[in-house]
Chain A
């Protein structure tokens, strides 16, 4: 039987959660901003080995500025988290350390990826020089716009989920 795994994207509004999912699922990007309310749920089959696929059920949540406001029922039965922030807006990573600590305490064994998105808006040098300003070292710097590291992010997480 094919495994299906639920993952949730968390983070402030406007950081690019919906865009990352759209890029991953449909390979498209739009610069129009449509605010997500509640949850959109999308599904994608991911090949994690030559003969093995896992179907990722991706929950795109409304962004909150306080992670603890996330409705508990949404988090039910989650297999993995992706925490997204916008590297160009400090307000979206001000609480990064606390949020990550909260998640790792509450969901000890649930894999978690920390992602700095909108990497296309800054130079590589900027990222190198400023990687310590986010409080925590992100697992990925992605761009939903160019698609950079997006597949990598979801596929790597998917592999960890079936381990």
Chain B
């Protein structure tokens, strides 16, 4: 019985061939490939030509090759294992060809899908890497470029303040006011762009300070009620008084979230009402969860564009009517994300939009004894103890030098030394007793933060304690930290105006 099966199912798939020392066929059973006596074995496949050196070896040798592709005369393909046997005695060289085409066909399919998926994932990874590099480049470029824009703006705003104090006609005063407000607008937009790029490269961090949340909301209520009157629309505040008075959080950023949302609502609403609602949702040990919404009766957002609303540089309404960078909402989203909050938007075209946020805030348990120092720094000039103060300004930009000089000159109780080269600063600090140093960061010679570190380590009295304030447009959060670490007391951000500069200076003078 087995013999019958064997006859039916077993096709011998192995060919035996013997060759002479020149590689010509002696005998072949032609099970797979037909060869005649005397044919050069190389005619079957160039494969054998590579073995010519072994045709006449008189040694016991058995070389095995796997997975060799061969073709017969009809161009039919076979995938075979080949054994090449030589013998020490006079026996002729033997070639055994095993046809494993079926087996290798399966193997090929497996390898095909494996290799394709490996290559695809590598290509995908590269594309992502490329995209990310492009994105990083864009953000770094924007960040640097915005810095550069801040420097000349400092000059514009500072000199506007100076100019306003000179004798001018009312008409001239008005013009200066226009220049100033344009410059402020520009400053805000640059600020937006800079902040967005910082969020995107992950360089923005949330700081924690104690502040009065209620006061912040009162301030917003005041500002936006006025604004609503001007626009002839309504502004309503729905504020849950149970919310703790004091929070620990990043006041500036929280304020910015509210302002950006409200600005956005006001911008797109010409009739009706803007409502700010702040409700306590849950309160735990030291955390309070708030539901916040900003609702307007403005132009609304088309459904298909709702998803895009938080993307950077999308202003859905491209008409000239609505100005701005279009970054306000993406900044909000970025900040809310940083605070581990959630923000969603619902909108109907022509009816209005509602932005809803859910954010956790930290608050101190003891609200009563929480006292915030509320003194205005600029008032502290009444407590000045000296007639004249020596101030060193280390700054290479002439525009900035002039600005500081003018502002301080008006005050009447400052001597100002100006040094524009980093290297001369130390020398000057050793030989003069300064009451305060204003230090630019990027300077020829040595950078301001390095100089500060050196000054702090000078064996001269007062060098450890003298207030050093950075004046800089380099305002990434890690920069700020580094300046503090190098021994700087505070930072004055470029572009600065008269009030900010004086406020900070008076704060540190005793």
Interface residue count on the A side (C-beta < 8 Å): 28
A89 → chain B closest CB, angstroms: 5
Interchain CB contact under 8 A, B69 and A39: yes
Say yes or no: is B351 at the interface (Cβ < 8 Å to chain A): no
Say yes or no: is B46 at the interface (Cβ < 8 Å to chain A): yes
Say yes or no: is B63 at the interface (Cβ < 8 Å to chain A): yes
Interchain CB contact under 8 A, B119 and A77: no
Interchain CB contact under 8 A, B50 and A35: no
* Segment with Cβ contacts to A, from B27-35, B107-115, B313-321: B107-115
**Contact pick for A38, options B51, B52, B66, CB 8 Å:** B66
A99 → chain B closest CB, angstroms: 18
Interchain CB contact under 8 A, B122 and A57: no
**Contact pick for B50, options A6, A14, A38, A91, CB 8 Å:** A6
B30 → chain A closest CB, angstroms: 21
Q: Which residues of A contact B52 (CB under 8 A)?
A: 4
Say yes or no: is B45 at the interface (Cβ < 8 Å to chain A): yes
**Contact pick for B112, options A34, A74, A76, A88, CB 8 Å:** A34
A-B contact count (CB 8 A): 76
**Contact pick for B45, options A13, A41, A62, A63, CB 8 Å:** A41
Interchain CB contact under 8 A, B69 and A57: no
Interchain CB contact under 8 A, A38 and B79: yes
Interchain CB contact under 8 A, A77 and B53: yes
Q: Which residues of A contact B112 (CB under 8 A)?
A: 34-35
Mark contacts of A57-83 with chain B using CB atoms, 8 A cut-off: 1 yes-contact digit, 0 otherwise.
101001100000001011011000000
Interchain CB contact under 8 A, A89 and B122: yes
**Contact pick for B46, options A13, A35, A57, A88, CB 8 Å:** A57
CB within 8 Å of A: which of B56-86?
A: 63-69, 79
Say yes or no: is B49 at the interface (Cβ < 8 Å to chain A): yes
Interchain CB contact under 8 A, B122 and A37: no
Mark contacts of B90-122 with chain A using CB atoms, 8 A cut-off: 1 yes-contact digit, 0 otherwise.
000000000000001001100110011011001
Interchain CB contact under 8 A, B126 and A76: no
Please, which residue of chain B has its CB at the minimum distance from the CB of A13? B115
Interchain CB contact under 8 A, A39 and B50: no
A14–B107 CA distance with the chains assembled, in angstroms: 17
Say yes or no: is B123 at the interface (Cβ < 8 Å to chain A): yes
Interchain CB contact under 8 A, B65 and A37: no
Interchain CB contact under 8 A, A89 and B126: yes
Say yes or no: is B47 at the interface (Cβ < 8 Å to chain A): yes
Given the known inter-chain contacts A37-B108, A38-B104, A39-B68, please indicate yes or no for A57 contacting B115, CB distance below 8 A.
no
A63–B115 CA distance with the chains assembled, in angstroms: 10
**Contact pick for B47, options A34, A41, A71, CB 8 Å:** A41
Q: Which residues of B contact A91 (CB under 8 A)?
A: 122
Please, which residue of chain B has its CB at the minimum distance from the CB of A15? B119
Interchain CB contact under 8 A, B67 and A4: no
Interchain CB contact under 8 A, B123 and A76: no
Q: Which residues of B contact A76 (CB under 8 A)?
A: 50-51, 63
A33–B117 CA distance with the chains assembled, in angstroms: 12
A35–B118 CA distance with the chains assembled, in angstroms: 12
Say yes or no: is A137 at the interface (Cβ < 8 Å to chain B): no
Interchain CB contact under 8 A, A40 and B49: no
Given the known inter-chain contacts A4-B49, A73-B64, please indicate yes or no for A40 contacting B69, CB distance below 8 A.
yes
Say yes or no: is A136 at the interface (Cβ < 8 Å to chain B): no
Most chain A CB inside 10 Å of its own CB: which residue of B46, B64, B66, B107: B46
Interchain CB contact under 8 A, A41 and B69: yes
A139–B491 CA distance with the chains assembled, in angstroms: 56
Interchain CB contact under 8 A, B67 and A37: yes
A34 → chain B closest CB, angstroms: 7
Interchain CB contact under 8 A, A14 and B111: no
Given the known inter-chain contacts A33-B116, A35-B108, A57-B49, please indicate yes or no for A41 contacting B63, CB distance below 8 A.
no
Interchain CB contact under 8 A, B50 and A57: yes
Across the A-B interface, give the 5 residue pairs with the lowest CB-CB distance, nearest first. Answer: A38-B67, A43-B46, A6-B50, A35-B112, A41-B47
Residues of B within 8 A of A (CB): 45-47, 49-54, 63-69, 79, 104, 107-108, 111-112, 115-116, 118-119, 122-123, 126
Some 5 contacts from A to B, beta carbons below 8 A apart, are: A35-B112, A55-B49, A57-B50, A77-B54, A91-B122
Residues of A within 8 A of B (CB): 4, 6, 13-14, 33-35, 37-43, 55, 57, 59, 62-63, 71, 73-74, 76-77, 88-91
Q: A57-B46, A77-B54, A89-B126 are in contact. List 18 more A-B contacts (CB 8 A).
A: A4-B49, A13-B115, A34-B112, A35-B111, A35-B112, A37-B67, A37-B79, A37-B107, A38-B68, A38-B79, A39-B65, A57-B49, A62-B111, A63-B115, A73-B64, A73-B65, A76-B63, A89-B122
